[in-house]
Structure 1
Amino acid sequence: MSAHASVLFDSPGPRARARNRVITAITVVVVVAVAWVVYSRLQTKGQLTAAKWEPFLTANLWKTYVLPGVQGTLTAAAVSIVLALALGFLLGVGRLSERAAVRWPCAVVVEFFRAVPVLVMMIFAYFFYATFDLFPSKHLALAGVITGLTLYNGAVIAEIVRAGVHALPRGQAEAAEALGLRWGQSMRAILLPQAVTSMLPVLVSQMVVVLKDTAIGYQITFVEMVRQGTQVGSAYGNYVPALIVIAVLMICVNFALGSFATWLEGRLRRSRRGPDPLHPAPVTQGAFGAGAGGTI
C-alpha cells in the first residue's frame, strides 16, 4: 500500500478507479446536457437577449428598485445580527449557569424560539406592533423582520455558545476553579474568549442565514433585495436576468462577510498565541540604563 494512503479510506483499486472515471464522465455529460436544455429554453423565451439586460445599464432602475432593496436587506441583517449575537450570548451563558432559576428559564426561551418558524414570528411581531402603534407605519415591516430574525437566530446562537463552551477541555474550568475564580469570572475571562475563536465559523454561517432570511420579509411588505428583483422582472419582463443580478449581489455580500470572518478568526488566533520561546523579543540597550558612553 502507498505511503500516502489515506487513513480514512482504502485507496481504490484499478476497477474502482475505472468505475469512478466512468461515473464522473456520465455525470459531466448529464450536467452539461441539462444546462444546455435550460439555456436553449431561456433563449427561446427571449430571457437572455441583450435587450433584457439593458435596463440594468440605466441609473433609474438601480435607484428605483435595486438600491432600496440592498439598503433594506443590509439594514435588517446588520441590526438583527447585532441583536441576535447579544441575545444569543446572554441566553447561552444563562443556560450554562449553575443556578437553576437562571438556567431553566433560558432553556425554555431557547427551545421555544427555535421551534417557532421565522415567518410566524415576523407576522406576529408585525401585527403586534401595528395593533399597539409601537412603530411608525413606514417602519413596521422592518421592525417585524428584525424581531423575527433576532428571536430565532438568538436562540440558535445560544445553542452554539453552549456547545462551544462544552467543547473546551475540562481542564480549563478546573484550572480556573483551582485559582479561586468564581463561575462568572472563569466564564468571562477564560472559557468564553477561547470558545469564541472555535465558534467563529459557525457564527458566520448563522450570520449568512440571517442575511438570506431577510427575503422572507416580503410576506409583510418589507422592501428587500429578492422582492425588488421580482419587481424589476415584473416591470421590465426580464425575471431571469433580474434574479441573476440579485443572486450575484447576494453572493458578493456573503463572500465579503465570510472573508471578514476568516480575517477576524486569524487575528484572534494570533493575538492569543504566546511568544515564541526560540525567538525572544530583542532587548534594547536603554533598558539596562546604559551611561553616556554606551557602556553599563
Structure 2
Amino acid sequence: MSASATRVLFDEPGPRGRRRILLLSLLSALAILGVIAVGLYQFGVNGQLAADRWAPFLRPDYIAFLGQGAKGTFLATAVAAVFAFPLALLLALGRLSPFLPLRWVTTAWIEVFRSIPMLLVVYFFLLALPGPPFNVTFPVFWMLVIPMILVSSATTAEVFRAGIRAVDRGQSEAAASIGLTHAQSLRYVVIPQAIRLVLPSLILALVSLLKDSTLGFVVSYNELQYQGKSLVAYTHFLIQTYLIVAFIYVALNFVLTQFAHWLDRRMQRRAASTTGSLVD
C-alpha cells in the first residue's frame, strides 16, 4: 500500500515496525521463491516444461484469443470503476451525513455488500433474478459488472470516508468563515483534498476490480479467465494455459500498482514544493 494511503487508513509504523515489516517481506519473498523452485522442479520431472507444450502459445491465433479475453477484462474493469467510484463517494458522504435516515441506509448498503462475497452476488444475478418472483434478465456483461459495482462501491466508500475524515477540520472552518455552506465546503474544499489523499488507494481498488473480473467465467463472459478455460478445453494444456493467464494478471496488476506508487510520490513532491513556497 502506498505511503499516503497508509497514513490515511492506518497509523504510520515506527522504526521497529518498519524493520519488522522488512524482515517479514524478505522471509515471504524467500518462501515464495522456494515454492516456485519446487514447482518448476516438479513440472520438469513430469515433462510440463517440454517445448512442444509451450510452442502453441506463440501462434498468432492463440495470442489473439487471449488478447480478446484481456480486452474483455479491461472493459469490465473500466466500466465497473466508472460507476463504482462515484457511487462510493456518495455512499461515504451519506454515511457522514447528519441526516439520520440517510446515514442508516448508506451504512446498511456498505455493511451488507462489504460482507457478502462477490461470487454470491454474481450467482444472485445469474440464478435468482431471472426466476420468479423477479423475472429480470440482464445481458452477460452486466451480470458481471453490476455485482462488481455493488461490492466495490461498498469497500471503496470506506476509503473515501477515511480520506474525508483525514482532511483537517480547520479547512471546513475556514470555508465557513468566508460564507460557504456545508455543501459548498464539501464540494470545493474537503472532497478535492480527500480525493488527492486517497487517489493511490483508488488505483489499488482498481487492481481489486481487475481481479474480481475473473468471476466472469461464472456467467460465461469472455474475459481472460474464461478464455483461458476455453483454451484448456481445446488444447488440454491446463498448466501451461493457466500459468500464462496468471502471468498476464500479475503483469497487469504490477503495472497498476507501480502507477499507484508513482502517483503517490508525485503528489508528495507537489505537496512538499507547495509547502516550501508558502514558507518562503
TM-score, normalized by length of structure 2? 0.79
Structure 2 CA distance for partners of 1:253 and 1:35, relative to 1, 3 Å: closer
Give distance in 2, aligned partners of 1:202 and 1:71.
24
**How far does residue 163 in structure 1 lie from its aligned partner after superposition?**
1.1
User: Partner residue of 2:251?
Assistant: 252
2:82 paired with 1:82: yes
AA aligned to 2:75 is T
Residue range with higher mean Cα deviation, 262-271 or 115-124 = 262-271
**How far does residue 141 in structure 1 lie from its aligned partner after superposition?**
2.2
CA contact (8 A) 2:85 2:156 kept: yes
Structure 2 CA distance for partners of 1:168 and 1:126, relative to 1, 3 Å: same
Point out where structure 1 has 5 or more consecutive residues left out of the alignment: 1-6, 13-19, 280-296
Structure 2 CA distance for partners of 1:77 and 1:42, relative to 1, 3 Å: same
User: Partner residue of 1:168?
Assistant: 167
**How far does residue 188 in structure 1 lie from its aligned partner after superposition?**
0.8
CA contact (8 A) 1:126 1:143 kept: no
**How far does residue 267 in structure 1 lie from its aligned partner after superposition?**
5.6
AA aligned to 1:94 is G
User: Partner residue of 1:3?
Assistant: none
2:120 paired with 1:123: no
Q: Deviations for 1:98-133, whole angstroms, at most 9, x for unmatched residues?
A: 222322221122112212221111121234664545
Give distance in 2, aligned partners of 1:44 and 1:225.
29
Matches within 5 A, 1:211-226: 211-226=210-225
Q: CA RMSD in A?
A: 3.1
User: Partner residue of 1:285?
Assistant: none
User: Partner residue of 1:15?
Assistant: none
Matches within 5 A, 1:32-71: 35-63=36-64, 65-71=65-71
AA aligned to 1:41 is Q
CA contact (8 A) 1:204 1:257 kept: yes
Tell me the percent identity: 30
Point out where structure 2 has 5 or more consecutive residues left out of the alignment: 1-13
2:153 paired with 1:154: yes
Larger Rg: 1 or 2?
1
Give distance in 2, aligned partners of 1:46 and 1:119.
35
Residue range with higher mean Cα deviation, 161-170 or 151-160 = 161-170
User: Partner residue of 2:143?
Assistant: 144
| Larger helix percent | 2
User: Partner residue of 1:104?
Assistant: 104
User: Partner residue of 2:15?
Assistant: 8
Structure 2 CA distance for partners of 1:191 and 1:222, relative to 1, 3 Å: same
**How far does residue 32 in structure 1 lie from its aligned partner after superposition?**
6.7
SS of residue in 2 equivalent to 1:223: coil
Residue range with higher mean Cα deviation, 223-232 or 106-115 = 223-232
Q: Deviations for 1:268-289, whole angstroms, at most 9, x for unmatched residues?
A: 563893783688xxxxxxxxxx
Give distance in 2, aligned partners of 1:146 and 1:36.
37
AA aligned to 1:58 is R
SS of residue in 2 equivalent to 1:180: coil
User: Partner residue of 1:294?
Assistant: none
CA contact (8 A) 2:72 2:223 kept: yes
AA aligned to 1:215 is T
**How far does residue 165 in structure 1 lie from its aligned partner after superposition?**
0.8
TM-score, normalized by length of structure 1? 0.75
**How far does residue 210 in structure 1 lie from its aligned partner after superposition?**
0.6
Give distance in 2, aligned partners of 1:144 and 1:277.
51
Matches within 5 A, 1:158-197: 158-197=157-196
AA aligned to 1:62 is I
**How far does residue 169 in structure 1 lie from its aligned partner after superposition?**
1.9
SS of residue in 1 equivalent to 2:202: helix
AA aligned to 2:215 is I
User: Partner residue of 2:8?
Assistant: none
AA aligned to 1:40 is Y
Q: Deviations for 1:179-204, whole angstroms, at most 9, x for unmatched residues?
A: 22211111111111111111122211
